[in-house]
Amino acid sequence: MTTSVRVRYQTIEIGSADIHLCTLRDKQEFSDPNDVAKNLGINDTLWSLFGVVWPSSVVLAHYMDDYATDSKRILEIGCGMALTSLMLNKQHADITATDYHPEAGLFLQRNTELNHDADIQYERADWSEDCDTLGRFDLIIGSDLLYEDGHAEQLAKFIEHHSQPNCEVVLVDPGRGRKNKLGMQMEKYGYQSEQTTPAHTDYLEAPFKGYVLKYWRVDT
């Protein structure tokens, strides 16, 4: 983990579990001395976004707390601080995490150690490439993933590349206006869908105006 940024430590309660996190102190932190992130297309204004806990990630963790995950191989896309992965790992679920940011895996390792849990399988992944070694999954999850118009098509293709014929997808979207574009892309791969407004989000500091997006496909 980079040592030239200031960090903070916090504990987030998800159900009966306390998840301990080391995150960036705030969104003003930046450190890319060797231009690793820059060469991946991550500029200084975007660099810190992976390293703080966003409301959508907290909603996802609460939503997945009592979700049926037994025997499912699970992938978290764009994990950032990987709150949900850490929570599922504490439940001994079969969880793999991915992110594009070069520092995300290092923070994940640190936070796994903070929680005194087993290592979480992690791989840095680019949605626009098919060269990762992740394999296929029964359940794919993520939060706050659609930042740009082109992300809907890239994300759907990435999900398809890593989904079993029978697959569930759970995404939390804060309402950036691109969920319908993703829905149309997912339909092309045979997914049905529904969207709901999460209830009882009083664990957040402000009302949540986003959605839980669910997609599922059954191989016939």
The CATH number of whichever domain residue 201 belongs to comes to 3.40.50.150
Q: Report the 10 Å Cβ neighbour count for 102.
A: 18
What residue numbers bound the domain in which 156 lies?
Answer: 7-217
Amino acid at 124: R
- Identify the pLDDT of residue 207: 94
The answer to whether residue 2 is domain-embedded is no
Q: Work out the percent of the chain whose per-residue pLDDT is above 90.
A: 93
* pTM check: above 0.75: yes
Q: How many domains does the chain have?
A: 1
The answer to whether residue 1 is domain-embedded is no
The answer to whether residue 96 is domain-embedded is yes
- Band (130; pLDDT cuts 50, 70, 90): confident
The answer to whether residue 167 is domain-embedded is yes
Q: Are the beta carbons of 127 and 178 closer than 8 angstroms?
A: no
Residue 45 class from Cβ within 10 Å (0-12 exposed, 13-18 middle, 19+ buried)? Answer: exposed
- Identify the pLDDT of residue 131: 85
The answer to whether residue 194 is domain-embedded is yes
The answer to whether residue 150 is domain-embedded is yes
What confidence tens digit (pLDDT) does each residue in 157-192 have?
999 999 999 999 999 999 999 999 999 999 999 999
Tell me the C-alpha distance between 169 and 8, whole Å: 31
The answer to whether residue 155 is domain-embedded is yes
Tell me the C-alpha distance between 1 and 163, whole Å: 30
Under DSSP, the state recorded for 204 is S
The answer to whether residue 183 is domain-embedded is yes
What confidence tens digit (pLDDT) does each residue in 77-96 have?
999 999 999 999 999 999 99
